[in-house]
A and B are shown apart, each in its own frame.
Chain A
Amino acid sequence: MTAQWVPEVWQTLLDHDIRQVAYVPDAGLAALIELAQAEPQVLAVPLSTEEEGVAVLAGAWLGGQRGALLMQSSGVGNCINLLSLARTCRFPLLMLVTMRGQWGERNPWQVPMGSITKAVLEQAGTLVFEVTEADRVSETVSAAAAMAFTGPAAVAVLIGQRVLGAKAFAEAVQTGQPR
């Protein structure tokens, strides 16, 4: 079942005239990506790495279109140098980041990037809004979009693992490991 915040956020993106949705998938974004792929007025642009999206959306803005960049928190690290493009040229950049490495994370390899996502975005000159309650996601995205496109500015919404639920790994078989 699709979480209620997903169609709300999608409508918010449409209300802000988003025309390109660039993304690297995350489980927490899957339903949103499906909505983007199904919308004739929107072009879904899957990326091979997240930093491509920063440049794709800068190009889109040069051509008169607004976009949004969707990624998991691990992808934020991939974006850092390209964020200089948004900052130096003041391109609008709206990022929706689903968090890993937080609340109940069962993969310790996600924790290092997840624990510094907000800090590195802010160091790179990005405004960051964190949201930890499902019924606040849409209004936060709307506020972020308003600031991104009127600034123009780079703005990220971090959608917390308390909204998404930690990845369960329910079917996994854990093999032995030395301790």
Chain B
Amino acid sequence: MSDTPIDEGRADHYPLARRAVVAALLADAGGLLVVTGLGAPAWDATAAGDRDLTFPLWGAMGGAVSMGLGLALARPENRVLVLTGDGELLMGLGSLSTVGHQQPANLAVVVLDNERYGETGGQRTHTARHTDLAAVAAACGWPSTWTVRDHAAAAELPSRLWDAAGPRLAVVKVAAANEPLVMPPRDGVWLKERFRRALLDQP
């Protein structure tokens, strides 16, 4: 542990903007299967364009990586991307261990880490102090984990994500700034059937 005091407000000054990172990840999404955690990652993905093969969670906090895992195991021929936040993943930290056990090569997780609970008033999460989510995933046996902090690393992220051995997890340190709300459809049955029709041609 360092003697230097931690600046728990450091995310106020992170250079990366979450919307631009997500827009780049989804720019050529094609048949990519996407699950988003609740809150800001769902709004970010929707701002990049509502799409049939994106399933945005409106609840089930802590479940995004697990849902991505079940999907990746069912569809080894498809790439599966989970977009989630630090608070959501902290609630399901054990799911990183469950993924590490299964080693799905087609699964990628991108954590938009603003070190805040952005939907509830910006309270700091554990990542504002010591918790390193990429290190947790690495310790669970994920072959590729890294943290993106600047524009150069962010520019490489969309290609590096799929070049790296899977499962892979990238933590993207993003500025703790709330963006305009851009909400996906919120009828869960409709979202589920839309996704399955697009992927499987059946509801």
Contacts and interface: CB of A to CB of B under 8 A. Distances in A.
Chain B, interface SS category: helix
Interface of B: 33, 35, 55, 57-64, 66-75, 78, 92, 94-95, 97-98, 101-102, 188-189, 191-192, 195-196, 199-200
The 5 nearest A-B residue pairs measured at CB: A59-B70, A63-B74, A48-B94, A89-B188, A55-B63
A20 B74 contact: yes
Interface string A42-78: 0101111101111111111111110100000000000
Contacts of A56: 66-67, 69-70, 73, 98
B178 to A, nearest CB: 24
A19 interface: yes
A40 to B, nearest CB: 14
Given A51-B62, A55-B63, A55-B66, A60 B74 contact: yes
Contact of A48 (B59, B74, B97, B192): B97
A47 B196 CA distance: 25
A114 to B, nearest CB: 23
Classify chain A: how many residues form its interface, as a range. 20 to 34
B74 A82 contact: no
Nearest to A90: B189
A60 B70 contact: yes
A88 interface: yes
Contacts of B71: 59-60, 62-63
A76 to B, nearest CB: 16
A130 to B, nearest CB: 27
Given A52-B63, A55-B63, A47 B98 contact: yes
Nearest to B192: A89
Contacts of B35: 59
A20 B95 contact: no
Contacts of A82: 60, 62-63
